[in-house]
Amino acid sequence: MIKEFFAIEKKPQRGLIAAEWVVVGYMLLTTLMILFTWTKHPDPVAMLWGRFHAAVSMVALWGVYRLVPCRLTMLCRVMLQLAMLSWWYPDTYELNRVLPNLDHVFAQYEQSLFGFQPALVFSQKMPWAVWSELMYLGYSSYFVLILTVTLYYFLRRYQEFQRASFVVIGSFFAFYVIFDLLPVTGPQYYYLAVGLDNIAAGVFPNIGDYFLTHDEMMTMPGYQDGWFYQFMLHAHAAGERPTAAFPSSHVGATIVMLLLALRTKSRPLSWFVGTMLVLMCMSTVYIRAHYAIDVVAGLVTGLVFYAVLMVVSTKIVQTYNH
C-alpha cells in the first residue's frame, strides 16, 4: 500500500480536479460580492488578499502534482481544500454582516412551532456532566468524521476518491453560499444580544445590523470542566463567528458523510458516522449553536446537496473518461 502512494499514475489529471473547480467558482462569486459591497466592509483588501493566497496555494500544489503525479500528491491537493474550509467559514461572517440580521425571524418561528426555545431549555433540563460531555463529543466529532470518510475513500476506494472529495467539498461551499446571503447567527449569539429575559418571555427584537460591530458569544452551557467541553471552548475561541446558523452545516455535512459511508458498504464506518449523526442533531441545539429548525433544514439540505452533487460528479467522471 505504501508503494501505491508514490507510484506514478499512468493517466495523471492535467488540470484542476473537480473539488478545486468548486473552490474557484466560490472565489469568483464571493469576489464579486466583495466588489459590489466594497464600502460596507471594514477591510475588503484583506479579504481579496486571502483569496489570492488561497489561489496561489492551490496552483502550487497542482504544480507539485504535475511534477510527481501520484496518489500522495493528489491527497495533498484535497487535504489543502479541506483544511481551507476553516478559513472560508469565518469569511462568511465578513460577507453577511453587511446585511440585516434575521435571527428574530427564526427565533419567532421556533417559538411558534414548539411553544418555547429548545436551545434555551434543552441544556437547562439536562445539565448532567456525562450527558454534557456526550453532547460536546458529538459536536466535536464533526472534524473527525470529515477526515475519516475522506481518508477511507483514499485508502480503500481510491478510484472514487476524487468523486467523494468533490461531494464533500461541494456540499460545504453550497452551505457557505447560503450563509453568505442569509445572516442568521444562532442562539449563542442572538440570545446574548437581546438578553435571556426577552427570550424566556418570548420576545424577539429585531437587532438590524448589530453584528456588523459585535461578535460576542454567550458562555456555552453544560459541564465546564469536561474534556470535550474545553476542546469546543478553544475551538470556538479560535474560529467561531456570528454566522452560519441556518441551515446547520454540522448536521447537513454529517448526512453527506453518512451517505458516502453507506456507499462504501462498510458497516463499521456507517455505524460510526450514523451514531455521530444522532449525537450531532441533539448537540447542536444543546450547546445553543443552532435552533431546532436549523437541524431539520440541515437534514434536508444535506440530502439534497448529496443527491445533486452525486449526479454532477457522475457527469464529470463520464466527461473525464471520454
Please say if the pLDDT value at position 315 is more than 90: no
Residue recorded with cell 488578499: 49
Do residues 187 and 291 touch, judged by C-beta distance below 8 A?
yes
Q: 3-state DSSP call for residue 70?
A: strand
Cell of 281: 442533531
In the prediction, which pLDDT does 255 show?
A: 97
Q: What angle do CA 299, 301, 305 make, to 5 degrees?
A: 120
d(CA 291, CA 109): 10
In the prediction, which pLDDT does 21 show?
A: 96
In the prediction, which pLDDT does 191 show?
A: 97
- State mean pLDDT over 277-300: 97
Cell of 251: 448536521
Q: 3-state DSSP call for residue 8?
A: strand
- State mean pLDDT over 46-63: 97
Do residues 18 and 162 touch, judged by C-beta distance below 8 A?
yes
Burial of 19 (0-12, 13-18, 19+ CB in 10 A): buried
Provide the phi-psi class of 117: left if phi over 0, else alpha when psi is between -120 and 50, else beta: beta
Please say if the pLDDT value at position 225 is more than 70: yes
Contacts made by residues 273-277, CB under 8 angstroms, sequence distance 24+: 273/145, 273/148, 273/149, 276/138, 276/141, 276/145, 277/251
Residue 319 binned pLDDT confidence (cut-offs 50, 70, 90): low
Residue 321 binned pLDDT confidence (cut-offs 50, 70, 90): low
d(CA 62, CA 211): 38
Compute and round to an integer the Cα radius of gyration of the chain: 20
Looking at the DSSP bridge assignments, the partners of residue 70 are 8
d(CA 205, CA 194): 7
Dihedral, CA atoms, 273, 274, 275, 278, nearest 10 degrees? 120
Percent of the chain, pLDDT > 70?
98
Do residues 259 and 299 touch, judged by C-beta distance below 8 A?
no
Looking at the DSSP bridge assignments, the partners of residue 8 are 70
Burial of 141 (0-12, 13-18, 19+ CB in 10 A): buried
pTM for this entry: 0.95
- State mean pLDDT over 288-306: 97
